Amino acid sequence: MRVLATCLTIGALSSPPSSARAEDSLRVCADPNNLPFSDAKGTGFENKLAELVASELGKTLSYTWWAQRRGFIRNTLKAGACDLVMGVPTNYDAVETTLRYYRSAYVFVSRADRELDVTSLADDRLRTLKIGVHLVGDDGMNTPPAHVLGARGMVSNVVGYSIFGDYREPSPALRPIQAVESGTLDVAAVWGPFAGYEAKHASAPLHIDMIARTDDYAPLQFAFDISMGVRKGDDKLKRRLDDIIRRKSGVIHALLESYGVPLVDGD
């Protein structure tokens, strides 16, 4: 999942949707090239969560693969190609959302051997560091760290990476963290699940710090609740999913931790 407009964004482009609808199948729409969330091999944590949900519902699991770019919900869930999207911001208006199943935040990631320990976007050291951020598009829908750094006049030392990236490459959204690993960047300010996952696979140890929120950043958010999304009005499936989230919260928490997802508390 590339989290929607509140965190990252969500959109469209991939294989045509299936028109088949079977009561014994849990039909999920997901991105085939977006680790740590999902991929066509089923190795992302949203893939594993979908397997758990299908098992709990007593259904087989089927996918419609669709790249998460603009129009994703319109071309998948709303078009009837699937019944469930595994990760959306809680209370995202385009869908009916379940209870949250995790809360994560934007983080700084740097090489551990640099001992930078940056936790605030107001840290003056950032003015002399090469910083990587995700950019969503040319319509102002950029990530909170990109907004704050721009507002603070940091432009020449900030490197923008499209959240969509080059889709011919594996999991293109991981590029800024990989650039930190290689030493091309000093630090990246990115959505936590990307950083945590890449840190578990990096050849050089990486250090992750939550971005601290201060009044200077208001009203921007840096932590978000994430839920599953179903079609508006599909209350029956929503209730069943809520029940699974409640009953299997420990299993879900352990799954997220195994992928390095930084988890934060919050109401």
Same-domain status, 55 and 133: no
Same-domain status, 109 and 195: yes
Any domain includes 6: no
Same-domain status, 34 and 98: yes
Same-domain status, 208 and 112: yes
Any domain includes 20: no
Greatest C-alpha distance within the chain: 57
Domain count, the chain: 2
For residue 54, list its beta bridge partners.
none
Residue 64 · residue 29 · CB < 8 Å: yes
Any domain includes 155: yes
Same-domain status, 125 and 196: yes
Any domain includes 4: no
What's the domain range around 212?
Answer: 105-217
Could you give phi then psi for residue 26, rounded to 5 degrees?
-90, 110
Same-domain status, 122 and 62: no
CATH number at residue 229: 3.40.190.10
The H or E element spanning position 145 is: helix 144-151
Over its length of 267 residues, how does the chain's per-residue pLDDT go in tens digits?
Answer: 454 433 443 333 334 344 345 578 999 999 999 999 999 999 999 999 999 999 999 999 999 999 887 789 999 999 999 999 999 999 899 999 999 999 999 999 999 999 999 999 999 999 999 999 998 865 546 899 999 999 889 989 999 998 887 778 889 999 999 999 999 999 999 999 999 999 999 989 999 999 987 666 667 889 999 999 999 999 999 999 999 999 999 999 999 999 999 999 875
Same-domain status, 114 and 195: yes
Same-domain status, 98 and 116: no
Any domain includes 95: yes
Any domain includes 266: no
Residue 129 · residue 210 · CB < 8 Å: no
Same-domain status, 118 and 171: yes
Length in residues, the chain:
267
